[in-house]
Amino acid sequence: MSLNTQFPESAEVATKPESWQIELLYDGECRLCLREVNFLKRRDAGRGLVAFVDIAGDRYIPEAHGGVDFETAMGRIHAVLPDGTVIKNVEVFRRVYEILGMGWIYAVTKLPIIGSIVDWLYGIWADWRLALTGRPDLATIVSDRQKRIECETQGRCRLNDDNQP
């Protein structure tokens, strides 16, 4: 059974869950994130080494993805390893690129001084990512998402069949 069948709207993953080596949680509403994800998908070439999970969907289920809640996942990039270990920040890129045979791109970031600088720069990028891509701040995104989910689960926002308020 594929993870897509198990969690049809919470994840976009390989059809053989036992084959993935890392599950990448990404923001499907971020144009720059999508550009990177599309590049990585092409490099994965259908091998299923990386399971790609779009956290932006209202049906994202944290428990199915290392327990990483929406707000946390939106704040910094995260990934889940097959044993359930959650990693974040530049370590995610290091691991994904290694798995896809491009580890040399991030190899220099394993050096202590360079790694610290790159981690620091990524932190700045992550803090400003939403503003730099023209999106609302994290609190607004989280609040809007929560309102949509509550509306959907409680049925408060549906129109009556007779078009009456």
Domain ranges in the chain are 3-154
Better pLDDT: 105 or 163: 105
The strand pair at 22-26 and 50-54 is best described as parallel
Q: Is 22 helix (H, G, I), strand (E, B) or coil?
A: strand
Residue 155: predicted pLDDT: 64
Residue 1: predicted pLDDT: 35
pTM: 0.81
Residue 160: predicted pLDDT: 47
